[in-house]
Amino acid sequence: DAGVIQSPRHEVTEMGQEVTLRCKPISGHDYLFWYRQTMMRGLELLIYFNNNVPIDDSGMPEDRFSAKMPNASFSTLKIQPSEPRDSAVYFCASSRPGQGDTEAFFGQGTRLTVV
């Protein structure tokens, strides 16, 4: 398997624009996570899904953030409208604890810059 695939790797956008980050988890993994990494706040769990259903979105910072998982092989994280303080690296990760893969496998991340 190619691992967790995120796109784009880098995104630069203007304040107020909509941003969509994409993630393809490892095939067969039933958990998907979105994390945000910043110098100030470290690695924060934003939301996670089990079998395409959102389980816990308590880490989503505000209503401007939304995440979907329409099927087992695709998820999106959307920010609308974007603000400079959203600049961060966003990671997607997947796991399958029921089959022994208790750890999260991470993608390479999307570096978002909002100017």
Partner 1 sequence: AQSVTQLGSHVSVSEGALVLLRCNYSSSVPPYLFWYVQYPNQGLQLLLKYTSAATLVKGINGFEAEFKKSETSFHLTKPSAHMSDAAEYFCAVTDYSSASKIIFGSGTRLSIRP
Interface residue list for partner 1 (CB under 8 A):
4, 31, 33, 35, 42-43, 45, 48, 50, 55-56, 91, 93, 95, 97-98, 102-109
CB 93, CB 35: distance < 8 Å: yes
Closest approach of partner 1 to the CB of residue 11, in Å? 15
Closest approach of partner 1 to the CB of residue 95, in Å? 5
CB 89, CB 106: distance < 8 Å: no
Nearer to partner 1, 42 or 70 (CB): 42
Alpha-carbon span 7 to 40, nearest angstrom: 24
Nearer to partner 1, 15 or 55 (CB): 55
Nearer to partner 1, 59 or 81 (CB): 59
Closest approach of partner 1 to the CB of residue 108, in Å? 5
DSSP string, 35-89: EEEETTTEEEEEEEEETTEEEE-TT--STTEEEEEEETTEEEEEESS--GGG-EE
